[in-house]
Structure 1
Amino acid sequence: MAIASSASAATVTTTVAVTATVQATCLVSATSLAFGTYAGVQVDATSTVSVTCTNTTPYNVGLDAGLATSATVTTRSLTGPAAAVLSYSLFSDTARTVNWGSTVSTDTLAGVGSGAAQALTVYGRIPASQFVTPGAYTDTITATVTF
């Protein structure tokens, strides 16, 4: 006669601690600001700076003076033929009265990250009555996010 044997199994468990530290971070991108044709009358245009920061991360976005040696953050300069200069300004409001510069807590734009892209509009203006050499004028502005 055969005897049935029972197999006995045992188990043990443990836990595995899983951790991560999320570092505050931001990403920034921007679209071009194209004024189009200027014929001595005021021209307005807009651009978008897109900022994506980790949730609850406070940030400031600054715009520098650009590449022209004569430029400041209040009066920027597009450079054209034979080093001719066409002045323009950048603002953070639709009325174009609040200058957008690069000094944190003075003339930068502040926000708080949400984890999603936040679109900030740059309002540009070339003032009237600048009779400069005809041709193409360019500048490059650097947007800096401080967080």
Structure 2
Amino acid sequence: MTDKRLRLVFAGVLPLGLLAPVPAQAACSPLSLCSCTVSATGVAFGSYNTLAASPNDAAGSVRVVCTLLLDLAGSFTVDLSPGASNNYAGRTLRNGTNSLVYNLYTNAARTQIWGNGTGSSLRVTQSFAGLLLVDRTIPVYGRIPARQNARAGAYSDTIIVTVTY
């Protein structure tokens, strides 16, 4: 198994968004004979209204592309770090001492927190069989809960995406 990490930076100036990272390269183990690329598209939250009754939802994605040199079957797992808060239950975007609680989810209903399998978070695992090219785009669902008292400014957090082959 090869472990590849990709750093994502969440940032914005109310509106909040996710800056797209440079793709990271990963090499599979010698036994699986493959070459992989990991990249992500931004989660653009748009404007956050502190008085709105509804949460601010947005989506992005993580893309994993592997070229297999043999007709193989296997899987890969995608984990997300908790960010600067070190807490999957309440990730935070920060602006100095100011913060906004947000989270990232594996499902559109935003009920399953995406993490590394600890602290009530889930991992995302993708399987493949009989393919010479694996190209998977996995959605990342984001939510900033409603009615948080936040000052205008640039808020950010850093999430590490870890893809294990």
Quick check: TM above 0.5?
A: yes
Say which of 110, 119, 128 aligns to 1:96.
Answer: 110
Task: Note if contact 1:74-1:101 (Cα within 8 Å) is conserved in structure 2.
Answer: no
Give the Å deviation of 1:103.
2.8
Say yes or no: does 1:37 pair with 2:55: no
Q: Pick closer, same or farther for the CA change 1:131–1:121 going to 2, 3 Å.
A: same
User: Rg larger in 1 or in 2?
Assistant: 1
Structure 1 position 26, deviation (Å)? 3.5
Q: Percent identical across equivalent pairs? A: 37
Structure 1 residues 25-104: aligned runs within 5 Å: 25-40=35-50, 41=52, 42-53=55-66, 54=68, 55-66=72-83, 68=84, 70-80=85-95, 82-103=96-117
Structure (1 or 2) with the greater strand fraction:
2
On the 8 A contact 1:58/1:112 being kept in 2, the answer is yes
Q: Deviations over 1:33-73 (max 9, x none)?
A: 1211111231000011001234522111011111x2x3412
Corresponding residue of 2:124: 109
TM-score by length of 2: 0.67
Stretches of structure 1 lacking an aligned partner (at least 5 in a row): 1-19
Query: Aligned equivalents of 2:134 and 2:34: distance in 1?
Result: 14
Structure 2 runs not aligned, ≥5 long: 1-29
Q: Is the 8 A contact 1:24 1:57 kept in 2?
A: no
* SS of alignment partner, residue 112 of structure 2: coil
Aligned-pair RMSD on alpha carbons?
A: 2.2
TM-score (norm 1): 0.74
